[in-house]
């Protein structure tokens, strides 16, 4: 299997080139994207699953000759498969679901330097998109990320009041694209070198950790037998799954209206037996009303020891250190996911009307979500 990422050039789309018509700009962007040369490609947009992709979706579904298959979990787009021109397709994904963290930090960790620039976000308005003049004041920059020294060094490049908003916007966005490309490329090459896995085959970090574990560390059937857990048993055990927590007092969490709280008093809940034994040391008392008994087996130590050793041998802040840390944390969360995957469909108004006729309006809520 080959792992190939190629970035030949950056193409920009600026609003004033389309008479300040957002719809025309997006259509031109999609026209470039939905071309034969991009068939089979995966397009990453950093931190887009709960922002950019939502705004883009309404344009994508209206674009001629396209069919959209979204995968949504917890309100976020995990993957959007787009079929276009009948015979071609590509995938849109959020790179932050694969590599959590700001692009600036990721760029430093994977490239050794920051490829991101600085930009006066709050300076931009619909009326000044073609502004040329002095550099906007420091107040227009994000002062939590841009120091005065950074700002002053930035201003040195524009001594003749030749700061051009359009040119700087295109430059800034281009740097972002290049930075993300380099991060994804280096991350992909490292994962392929270490585990012979192509990151393009998985959309998120937990799914990557799970695939690495299953292909490289999962015990063979001869070594161990793992029970199949489903239905009522799975639902009960999942109630004991609260995710990572440490240094909390009181010790045992429980759910109140889908929120996790650490309270006092009396309540009912599901817990792993070792958690109860530990709580008893601190004065907790409990009565066991129901439970499941399992024979303990060691199925994770090889994965944990291997990645921990790699992390120990890596310098803190480097890409290798980050990869090991992320993969160690991500596998645990993957085992807490619901095994039932919801299917999402995108329908036009005519299809919604037909659906109402077939299944009844009571099965469709006010947001036009349908369930069986």
Per-residue pLDDT tens over the stretch 310-345? 999 998 888 899 999 999 988 877 777 776 667 777
* Whole-number Å distance between alpha carbons of 365 and 196: 45
Burial class (CB in 10 A: 0-12, 13-18, 19+), 263: exposed
Instruction: Return the structure tokens found at 206.
Output: 């937990």
Neighbours of 359 (CB within 10 A): 13
Tokens describing residue 182: 């380099």
Within 13 Å and on the Cβ side, how many CA atoms surround 250? Answer: 15
**Does residue 331 contact residue 302 with C-beta atoms inside 8 Å?**
no
Going from N- to C-terminal start, the domains of the chain cover 204-223+298-334, 231-280
Other CB atoms closer than 10 Å to residue 336's CB: what's the count? 13
Looking at the chain, the whole-number percentage of residues with pLDDT higher than 70 is: 90
pTM confidence score: 0.82
| Res 3: pLDDT | 37
- Please give the sequence-ordered ranges of beta strands (E in DSSP) within 94-174, or none if there are none: 132-133, 163-164
Query: Would you say the C-alpha torsion 263, 267, 271, 276 has a positive or negative sign?
Result: positive
Q: How does pLDDT run across 265-299, given as a tens digit for each residue?
A: 999 999 999 999 999 999 999 999 999 998 888 88
Considering the chain, what is the average pLDDT of its residues?
87
Q: How far apart are CA 207 and CA 122, in angstroms?
A: 37
Q: What is the rounded CA–CA span in Å between residue 13 and residue 30?
A: 11
Q: How confident is the model at residue 371 (pLDDT cuts 50, 70, 90)?
A: very low
Judge whether residue 361 has pLDDT over 70: no
1 pLDDT above the threshold of 50: no
Chain segment 129-174, per-residue pLDDT in tens: 999 999 999 999 999 989 999 999 999 989 887 999 999 999 999 8
Q: Count Cβ atoms within 10 A of the Cβ of residue 73 and give its class: 0-12 exposed, 13-18 middle, 19 or more buried.
A: middle
Mean pLDDT computed over 48-77? 89
Lowest mean pLDDT among 43-57, 172-186, 239-253: 239-253
Distance of alpha carbon 239 from alpha carbon 189, whole angstroms: 38
Over residues 2-52, the pLDDT tens digits come to: 334 445 678 899 999 999 999 999 999 999 999 999 999 999 999 998 888
User: pLDDT tens digit string along 71-82?
Assistant: 988 888 999 999
**CA pair distance 173, 44, nearest whole angstrom:** 14
Residue position matching structure tokens 């620039």? 117
What is the end-to-end Cα distance of the chain in Å, rounded? 40
Rounded distance between C-alpha atoms, residue 226 and residue 299, angstroms: 9
């Amino acid at each position: 299997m080959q792992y190939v990422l190629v970035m030949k050039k950056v193409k920009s789309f600026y609003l004033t080139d389309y008479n300040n018509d957002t719809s025309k700009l997006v259509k031109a962007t999609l026209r470039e994207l939905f071309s034969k040369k991009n068939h089979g490609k995966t397009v990453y947009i950093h931190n887009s699953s709960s922002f950019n992709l939502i705004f883009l979706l309404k344009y994508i579904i209206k674009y001629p000759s396209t069919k959209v298959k979204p995968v949504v979990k917890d309100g976020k787009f995990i993957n959007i498969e787009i079929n276009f021109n009948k015979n071609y397709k590509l995938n849109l994904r959020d790179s932050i679901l694969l590599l959590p963290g700001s692009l600036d930090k990721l760029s430093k960790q994977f490239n050794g330097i920051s490829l991101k620039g600085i930009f006066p976000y709050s300076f931009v308005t619909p009326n000044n998109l073609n502004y040329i003049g002095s550099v906007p004041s420091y107040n227009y920059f994000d002062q939590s990320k841009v120091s005065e020294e950074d700002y002053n060094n930035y201003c040195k490049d524009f001594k003749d009041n030749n700061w051009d908003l359009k040119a700087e916007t295109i430059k800034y966005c281009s740097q972002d694209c290049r930075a993300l490309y380099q991060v994804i490329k280096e991350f992909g090459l490292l994962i392929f070198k270490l585990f012979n896995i192509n990151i393009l085959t998985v959309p998120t970090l937990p799914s990557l950790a799970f695939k690495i574990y299953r292909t490289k560390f999962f015990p063979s059937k001869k070594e161990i037998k793992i029970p199949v857990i489903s239905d009522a048993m799975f639902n009960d055990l999942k109630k004991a799954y609260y995710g990572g927590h440490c240094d909390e007092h009181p010790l045992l969490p429980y759910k109140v209206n889908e929120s996790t709280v650490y309270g006092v008093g009396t309540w009912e809940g599901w817990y792993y037996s070792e958690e109860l034994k530990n709580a008893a040391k601190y004065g907790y008392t409990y009565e066991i009303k129901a439970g499941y008994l399992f024979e303990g087996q060691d199925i994770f130590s090889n994965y944990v020891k291997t990645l921990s050793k790699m992390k120990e041998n890596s310098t803190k802040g480097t890409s290798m250190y980050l990869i090991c840390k992320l993969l160690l944390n991500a596998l645990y969360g993957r085992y807490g996911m619901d095994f039932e995957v919801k299917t999402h469909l995108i329908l036009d108004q005519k299809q919604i009307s037909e659906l109402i006729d077939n299944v009844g309006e009571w099965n469709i809520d006010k947001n036009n979500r349908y369930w069986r």
